[in-house]
């Protein structure tokens, strides 16, 4: 627009200025001529038309420029339109013409007209126009480039602003995710939180989080997200180049990296695998796949997404490692390291909870107290290591024989507690008999040598028959165990509550010993 | 002011001229006076042939006063009385004659009289042709000229018509009394102002016409039936005129001079009435 204005205004202004100057000049000189001619007319009112020499002399006083052939002419015309005097031929058209009237004692008798050819002025204007056009073109080019530069800068600025906003939002979400991860109680919960946040942090990417199974030979898909998540549920560590190389691995799309075996062959988009490692331990894999090839480019450079993925992987790794550590510490706090059974502390925590559940769901609970017979003598005979080996073997056996819902604890020393959820008297007795039978057959070794066989004594108390709370029931089972010991060991005694007061538990108040068979 | 300087220069050229001599008496002034003064000079030289005169310069009353003041002229002849300002500047003089202020047309034009109303119509452009068909061409004097002033005093209609005429483009203007007489003489259908003294003393081919039926004769003027006139003065400057000029000033009041003046349409002292 500015260039067009310059291109047009320069010649227009030039023409206008020259035209106005010429017009003023013509008008002025014409008026002077008219006054002089009028004086002649006044002097010779009847014959002025015929005094052509005198009139021509008056008209001769013109600018030198005007006298050039074909440029200007002046003529006197009477009222009838007849030309009285004309200085020269009519100039080349187009013309500018200015008239001044002639008077005979105040009455109009004709006019004097100056004519000037505009041709040279038009040529001048054309030249100026060409210069204007050239100048306009230069200005147009310069402005266009400036505009382009400004547009580029604006785009860059907008892109930078967009990146900053995106990164700021990503940082906020990452921090928020960190907060949620810190509050997660299990790896599964953490995986769900990661999936939910990653969808918001880098929505252009689909993906999955794989967690290493306890045996560390398989990765299981814990969560998936995005429009095009991978469909494989499992993968082996050796199927992923990232896990094999111990570093982030990019493939597909414009990348030249090898495509992992766990990536389905029909995936043509860019993929990114991030190993989740903490303190040298492989915890899992974060797998990302671009929602559409090259789509990530629209929102910023790959480096930015990669960095955020690294951050997500680090946060996820730390969270899962913390959960594992927490789980390990908890296990350590509630388990007996020798037998890998729960300890007494866990029993006290969980027993009341199980009883509350039984109360609500109206089912029975069987509580056993059992003790290795003559364990002190065994220790004295074979040593503490042998004793530990026996306890370890017994613990393993107990874990094998109970259901996942049951609880087996090392109560202390060679004494164990078993809680069988939903077991009635008969089931409990039958189960105890099978256990005692297997214990008698249990073979253990100490120092490379087979150790002597062991037996166990067991006391059984039942909920709700023998008590409503854990302490009472444990006390009842303990009383029954005491009776079993006193009755000759290697047997089960079921607690027998006194007829008038079940809470007054005393030795011998069992309903009968079940001796070894 | 420029015009005045130009007139002084013109007077100087006419008076001094190529053959200027120290003893020449230099006279100039209003065109109304020049013709009669030239006749008086001719008569004066019959008596004082030793006194030489430069040609009388018709440079107007105001121009002549400036020329006297500048020492270019010895005597100024005015068609108006000295003003207080003139007297304050040191000019002094005598009124030597009065002559009727007349409306003139070309001598051969068949017009004998005109009314003030017709004159106003002619000046304002309402009347463009004479009764005999010829185009009317008024010859105007500059707005500050004595003739313009006298004409305006004739009637308010004429004063208004004159104002209009001065604004019309292409009108004929005459700078001096002699220019006006020349224009009326030469331009067909012309009408202008002059004095009876100028017409008669210079034997101009123009004729005074009756105004509102009264012919502008000396008798009509002296009887008071024609009141319009100019008062003619001989004026000299602060310094005492040279003896030759002084003798001519004395001669203007002599019986011979007064006889010539009366013959050429002038009322001579003592003035009565008017």
**Ordered DSSP codes for chain B:** -HHHHHHHHHHHHHHH-TT--TT-B-EEE-HHHHHHHHHHHHHHHHH-TT--BPPPEE--HHHHHHHHHTTS-SEEEESSPPPHHHHHTT-EEEEEEEEEEEEEEETTSS--EE-HHHHHHHHHTS--B-TTSPBPEEEE--TTSHHHHHHHHH-HHHHHHHHHHHHSTT-EE-SSHHHHHHHHHHSTTEEEEEEHHHHHHTT-SEEEEEETTB---HHHHHHTSS--EEEEEEEE-SSPPPHHHHHHHHHHTSHHHHHHHHHTT-B-SSP---
Contacts of B183 in chain A (CB under 8 A): 42-43
The answer to whether residues B104 and B210 belong to one domain is yes
Contact criterion met (CB below 8 Å) for B267 and B97: yes
Contacts 24+ apart (CB under 8 A), A185-193: A185/A323, A186/A323, A186/A327, A187/A211, A187/A222, A187/A320, A187/A323, A187/A324, A188/A222, A190/A316, A190/A319, A190/A320, A190/A323, A191/A222, A191/A223, A192/A222, A192/A223
| Structure confidence at residue B274 (pLDDT) | 52
CATH number at residue B199: 3.40.190.10
What mean pLDDT comes out for the span B177-191? 94
CA–CA gap between residue A148 and residue A151 (Å, rounded): 5
Residue B188 in contact with partner chain A when CB distance is under 8 A: yes
B61-69 vs B2-16: helix crossing angle, rounded to 10: 70
Q: Where are the domains of chain A?
A: 1-183, 185-332, 342-514
Per residue in B224-253, pLDDT tens?
A: 999 999 999 999 998 888 999 999 999 999
In degrees and rounded to multiples of 5, residue A316 shows phi and psi of: -65, -45
Per residue in A239-290, pLDDT tens?
A: 889 888 888 888 877 777 888 888 877 767 788 899 988 888 888 999 988 8
| CATH topology (fold) of A1-183 | Beta-Lactamase (3.30.450)
| Structure confidence at residue A183 (pLDDT) | 87
Contacts of B170 in chain A (CB under 8 A): 38, 41-42, 101-108
Cα–Cα–Cα angle for A366, A368, A369, nearest 5°?
Answer: 160
CA–CA gap between residue A192 and residue A168 (Å, rounded): 23
Percent of chain A with pLDDT over 70: 91
B192 forms beta bridges with B104
Residue-wise DSSP of A403-446: -TTSEEEEEETTEEEEEEET--HHHHHHHHHHHHHHHHT---EE
- Cβ pair A101:B169 closer than 8 A: yes
- Least CB–CB distance from B172: residue in A42, A46, A102: A42
The answer to whether residues B200 and B186 belong to one domain is yes
Could you tell me the pLDDT band of residue A514, with boundaries at 50, 70 and 90? low
CA–CA gap between residue A101 and residue A33 (Å, rounded): 10
Contacts 24+ apart (CB under 8 A), A234-238: A234/A210, A235/A210, A235/A260, A235/A261, A235/A262, A235/A285, A236/A262, A237/A212, A237/A282
In degrees and rounded to multiples of 5, residue A485 shows phi and psi of: -65, -45
pLDDT higher than threshold 80 for residue A299: no
More confident residue, A502 or A235: A235
Percent of chain B with pLDDT over 90: 84
The residues, any chain, with a CB within 8 Å of residue A502's CB and separated by 6 or more, are: A466, A467
Per residue in A431-486, pLDDT tens?
A: 999 999 999 999 988 878 888 899 999 999 999 999 999 999 999 999 999 999 99
* One fold for A1-183 and A342-514: no
Residue B187 in contact with partner chain A when CB distance is under 8 A: yes
The answer to whether residues B114 and B208 belong to one domain is yes
The answer to whether residues B201 and B256 belong to one domain is no
Contact criterion met (CB below 8 Å) for B82 and B61: no
For residue B131, tell me if it sits in a domain: yes
pLDDT higher than threshold 50 for residue A363: yes
- Cβ pair B170:A105 closer than 8 A: yes
How many structural domains is chain B composed of? 2
Residue B165 in contact with partner chain A when CB distance is under 8 A: yes
Can you read off the two tokens belonging to residue A175? 């921090």
For residue B268, tell me if it sits in a domain: no
Residue-averaged pLDDT of chain B: 90
The answer to whether residues B47 and B87 belong to one domain is yes
What mean pLDDT comes out for the span B82-100? 95
What mean pLDDT comes out for the span A175-196? 88
pLDDT higher than threshold 60 for residue B134: yes
Contacts of B168 in chain A (CB under 8 A): 103, 106
* Containing structural domain, residue B70: 2-98+230-263
For residue B74, tell me if it sits in a domain: yes
The answer to whether residues B35 and B93 belong to one domain is yes
CA–CA gap between residue B220 and residue B218 (Å, rounded): 5
Per residue in A383-437, pLDDT tens?
A: 888 999 999 999 999 999 999 999 999 999 999 999 999 999 999 999 999 999 9
Could you tell me the pLDDT band of residue B273, with boundaries at 50, 70 and 90? low
Torsion over CA: B236, B237, B240, B242 (sign): negative
Could you tell me the pLDDT band of residue A54, with boundaries at 50, 70 and 90? confident
How many C-beta atoms surround the C-beta of residue A216 within 10 A? 10
- Cβ pair B187:A106 closer than 8 A: no
Contacts of A38 in chain B (CB under 8 A): 169-170
- Least CB–CB distance from A45: residue in B168, B171, B187: B187
The answer to whether residues B135 and B180 belong to one domain is yes
Of A445, A345, A456, the residue nearest A398 (C-alpha): A456
Evaluate if pTM is beyond 0.80: no
The answer to whether residues B105 and B218 belong to one domain is yes
The answer to whether residues B109 and B217 belong to one domain is yes
CA–CA gap between residue B192 and residue B137 (Å, rounded): 9
- Cβ pair A106:B188 closer than 8 A: no
- Least CB–CB distance from B137: residue in A101, A105, A108: A105
- Cβ pair A45:B125 closer than 8 A: no
CA–CA gap between residue B172 and residue A41 (Å, rounded): 9
- Cβ pair B187:A41 closer than 8 A: no
Contacts of A36 in chain B (CB under 8 A): none
More confident residue, B61 or B102: B102
Burial letters A62-96, b for 16+ CB under 10 A, else e: beeebeeeebbbbbbbeeeeeebbbbbeebeeeeb
The answer to whether residues B249 and B208 belong to one domain is no
ipTM: 0.76
How many C-beta atoms surround the C-beta of residue B84 within 10 A? 7
- The span from the first CA to the last CA of chain A, in angstroms, equals 112
Mutate to test the interface with A, among B170, B171, B172 (most CBs of A within 10 A): B170
| Structure confidence at residue B21 (pLDDT) | 44
Query: What CATH number has the domain spanning A185-332?
Result: 3.30.450.40
Could you tell me the pLDDT band of residue A508, with boundaries at 50, 70 and 90? very low
- Least CB–CB distance from B170: residue in A43, A46, A103: A103
Say if residue A94 is preceded by a cis peptide, omega within 30 of 0. yes
Can you read off the two tokens belonging to residue B92? 């002094």
CA–CA gap between residue B211 and residue A105 (Å, rounded): 22
At the fourth CATH level, the homologous superfamily of domain A342-514 is: Reverse transcriptase/Diguanylate cyclase domain (3.30.70.270)
The answer to whether residues B52 and B86 belong to one domain is yes
- What are the DSSP E strand ranges found in A454-509? 456-463, 492-495
Do β-strands A281-290 and B113-114 pair in parallel, antiparallel, or remain unpaired? unpaired
Contacts of A107 in chain B (CB under 8 A): 125, 128, 135, 170
Residue-averaged pLDDT of chain A: 85
- Cβ pair B170:A43 closer than 8 A: no
Nearest-CA distance B99 → chain A (Å): 28
**Minimum CA–CA partner of B168 in chain A:** A106
- Cβ pair A107:B135 closer than 8 A: yes
Nearest-CA distance A42 → chain B (Å): 6
| Structure confidence at residue B13 (pLDDT) | 45
Per residue in A149-168, pLDDT tens?
A: 999 999 999 988 988 888 88
Do β-strands A281-290 and A205-212 pair in parallel, antiparallel, or remain unpaired? antiparallel
Contacts of B187 in chain A (CB under 8 A): 42-43, 45, 105
| Structure confidence at residue B100 (pLDDT) | 97
Nearest-CA distance A117 → chain B (Å): 29
Mutate to test the interface with B, among A104, A105, A109, A111 (most CBs of B within 10 A): A105
- Cβ pair B137:A101 closer than 8 A: no
Mutate to test the interface with A, among B106, B140, B169 (most CBs of A within 10 A): B169
- Least CB–CB distance from A42: residue in B136, B165, B187: B187
Can you read off the two tokens belonging to residue A469? 């709370």
């Amino acid at each position: 627009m500015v260039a067009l204005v310059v291109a047009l205004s320069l010649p227009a202004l030039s023409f206008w200025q020259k035209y106005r100057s010429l017009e003023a000049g013509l008008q002025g000189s014409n008026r002077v001529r008219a006054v002089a001619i009028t004086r002649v007319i006044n002097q010779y009112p009847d014959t002025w038309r015929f005094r052509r020499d005198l009139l021509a002399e008056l008209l001769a006083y013109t600018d030198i420029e005007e006298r050039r052939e074909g440029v200007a002419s002046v003529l006197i015309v009477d009222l009838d339109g007849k030309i009285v005097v004309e200085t020269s031929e009519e100039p080349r058209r187009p013309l500018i013409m200015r008239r001044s009237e002639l008077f005979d004692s105040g009455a109009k008798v004709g006019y004097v007209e100056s004519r000037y050819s505009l041709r040279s002025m038009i040529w001048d204007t054309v030249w100026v126009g060409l210069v204007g056009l050239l100048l306009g073109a230069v200005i147009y080019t310069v402005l266009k480039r400036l505009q382009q530069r400004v547009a580029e800068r604006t785009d860059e600025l907008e892109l930078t602003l967009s990146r900053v906003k995106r990164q700021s939002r990503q940082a906020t979400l990452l921090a928020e995710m960190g907060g949620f991860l810190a509050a997660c109680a299990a790896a599964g919960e953490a995986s769900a939180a990661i999936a939910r946040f990653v969808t918001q942090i880098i929505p252009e990417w689909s993906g999955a989080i794989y967690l290493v199974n306890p045996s560390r030979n398989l990765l299981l898909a814990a969560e998936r997200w995005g429009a095009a998540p991978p469909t494989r549920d499992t993968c082996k560590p050796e199927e992923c180049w990232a896990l094999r190389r111990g570093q982030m691995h990019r493939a597909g799309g414009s990348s030249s990296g090898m495509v992992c075996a766990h990536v389905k062959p029909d995936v043509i988009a860019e993929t990114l695998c991030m190993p989740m490692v903490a303190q040298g331990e492989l915890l899992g894999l974060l797998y990302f796949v671009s929602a559409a090839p090259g789509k990530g480019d629209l929102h910023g450079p790959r480096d930015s997404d990669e960095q955020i993925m690294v951050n997500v992987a680090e946060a996820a790794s730390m969270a899962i490692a913390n959960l594992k550590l927490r789980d390990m510490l908890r296990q350590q706090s509630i388990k007996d390291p020798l037998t890998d059974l729960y300890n007494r502390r866990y029993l006290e925590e969980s027993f009341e909870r199980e009883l509350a559940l039984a109360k609500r769901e109206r089912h029975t609970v069987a509580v056993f107290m059992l003790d290795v017979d003559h364990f002190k003598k065994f220790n004295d005979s074979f040593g503490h290591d042998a004793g530990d080996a026996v306890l370890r073997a017994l613990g393993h056996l107990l874990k094998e024989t109970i259901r996942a819902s049951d609880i087996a604890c090392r109560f202390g020393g060679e004494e164990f507690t078993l809680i069988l959820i939903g077991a009635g008297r008969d089931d409990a007795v039958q189960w105890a008999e099978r256990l005692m039978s297997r214990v008698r057959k249990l073979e253990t070794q100490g120092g490379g040598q087979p150790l002597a066989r062991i037996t166990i004594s067991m006391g059984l108390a039942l909920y709700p028959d023998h008590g409503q709370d854990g302490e009472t029931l444990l006390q009842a089972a303990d009383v029954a165990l005491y009776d079993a010991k006193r009755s000759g060991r290697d047997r089960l005694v079921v607690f027998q509550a006194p007829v008038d007061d079940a809470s007054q538990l005393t030795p011998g108040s069992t309903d009968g010993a079940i001796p070894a068979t | 002011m420029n015009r005045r300087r130009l007139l002084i220069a013109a007077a100087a050229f006419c008076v001094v001229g190529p053959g200027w001599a120290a003893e020449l008496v230099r006279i100039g002034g209003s065109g109304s006076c020049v013709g009669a003064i030239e006749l008086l000079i001719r008569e004066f030289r019959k008596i004082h042939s030793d006194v030489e005169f430069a040609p009388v310069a018709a440079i107007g009353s105001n121009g002549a006063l400036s020329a006297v003041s500048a020492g270019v002229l010895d005597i100024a002849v005015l068609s108006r009385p000295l003003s207080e300002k003139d007297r304050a500047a040191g000019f002094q003089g005598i009124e030597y004659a009065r002559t009727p202020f007349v409306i003139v047309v070309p001598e051969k034009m068949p017009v004998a009289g005109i009314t003030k109303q017709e004159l106003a119509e002619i000046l304002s452009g309402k009347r463009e042709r004479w009764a005999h068909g010829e185009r009317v061409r008024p010859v105007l004097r500059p707005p500050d000229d004595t003739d313009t002033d006298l004409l305006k005093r004739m009637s308010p209609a004429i004063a208004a018509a004159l104002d209009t005429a001065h604004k019309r483009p292409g009108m004929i203007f005459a700078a001096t009394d002699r220019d006006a007489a020349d224009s009326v003489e030469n331009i067909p259908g012309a009408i202008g102002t002059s004095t009876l003294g100028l017409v008669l003393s210079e034997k101009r081919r123009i004729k005074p016409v009756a105004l509102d039926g009264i012919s502008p004769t000396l008798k009509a003027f002296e009887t008071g039936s024609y009141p319009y006139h100019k008062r003619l003065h001989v004026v000299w400057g602060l310094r005492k005129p040279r003896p030759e000029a002084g003798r001519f000033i004395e001669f203007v009041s002599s019986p011979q001079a007064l006889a010539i003046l009366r013959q050429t349409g002038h009322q001579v002292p003592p003035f009565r009435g008017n």
